[in-house]
Amino acid sequence: GAVVSQHPSRVICKSGTSVKIECRSLDFQATTMFWYRQFPKQSLMLMATSNEGSKATYEQGVEKDKFLINHASLTLSTLTVTSAHPEDSSFYICSARDPGTESYEQYFGPGTRLTVT
Amino acid sequence: EDQVTQSPEALRLQEGESSSLNCSYTVSGLRGLFWYRQDPGKGPEFLFTLYSAGEEKEKERLKATLTKKESFLHITAPKPEDSATYLCAVRPGTYKYIFGTGTRLKVLA
């Protein structure tokens, strides 16, 4: 199956600072990537859909100015959490679909654990 | 409103004790139902895609089935390494998924 990586796997930052998380598709080109967040023992909540070369589509209730998404190439999408606060601490996961296949399964990265102190 | 419900929330099985996990859904036009396995602190790992009622997929000790209202993930003779959270997601017509809350499975040796 398709491989998606994320970096970093863990990050600790101070309140008020910004953090960038990278999501890469390693063996395919992804025109669309997805960003999720997951709280402990809860399911994945879609934050936004990242489209290569265009603006991201955010889900209702997600602050666009706080969670900046850039999909500048067919293999890389980034999520920047701006002016992070402790309530932004969470597990952030990206996924991508291989457009070279006719199936619609998404392949997920290993996730990034963000802790804001 | 599109919705996915998984049951039970948690399940403890003895090694070798077969069981089934349920995923019930209400969507306006199903374009795919997906099963994933998620280990603690990791991203979900793809297991199966089902597209139409009556479809079945198998992989080792796992078998997924689909009806018009629900899907089952059958686990036959589970082993401790099958312990994980199993997530169900539906695709109602766009590229977006709607996830259920998952079933946390613990298989005891």
Return the closest-CA partner of residue B76 out of B32, B103, B107, B49: B107
With b for 16 or more beta-carbon neighbours within 10 A and e for fewer, the B25-56 pattern comes to: bebeebebbbbbbbeeebbbbbbbbbeeeeee
State the Cα angle at B4 between B3 and B5, rounded to 5°: 125
Q: Give B10's contacts in chain A (Cβ within 8 Å).
A: none
**For each of chain A's 117 residues, which pLDDT tens digit applies?**
689 999 999 999 999 999 999 999 998 888 889 999 998 888 899 999 998 888 899 999 999 999 999 988 889 999 999 999 999 999 999 999 877 777 778 999 999 999 999
pLDDT at A1: 65
Return the closest-CA partner of residue B44 out of B3, B93, B88, B94: B88
A-B CB pairs within 8 A amount to 56
**Alpha carbon distance B70, B48 (integer Å):** 14
pLDDT, tens digit (0-9, with 9 covering 90-100), for B46-101: 999 999 999 999 999 999 999 999 999 999 999 999 999 999 999 987 778 999 99
* Interchain CB distance below 8 Å, B46 and A108: yes
Amino acid at B40: P
Tell whether A10 lies on the interface with B, counting CB pairs under 8 A.
Answer: no
For residue B42, what is the DSSP state?
Answer: S
Alpha helix locations (H) across A5-117? none
* Interchain CB distance below 8 Å, A103 and B49: yes
**Alpha carbon distance B73, B48 (integer Å):** 10
Ranking A87-96, A100-109, B22-31, B33-42 by mean pLDDT, the lowest is A100-109
* Interchain CB distance below 8 Å, A44 and B34: no
* Interchain CB distance below 8 Å, A97 and B36: no
Q: A53 exposed, middle or buried (CB, 10 Å; 0-12, 13-18, 19+)? A: exposed
Nearest C-alpha of chain A: how many angstroms from B26?
17
- How far from chain centre, in Å, is Cα B38? 11
Amino acid at A115: T
Nearest C-alpha of chain A: how many angstroms from B65?
17
* Interchain CB distance below 8 Å, B99 and A41: no
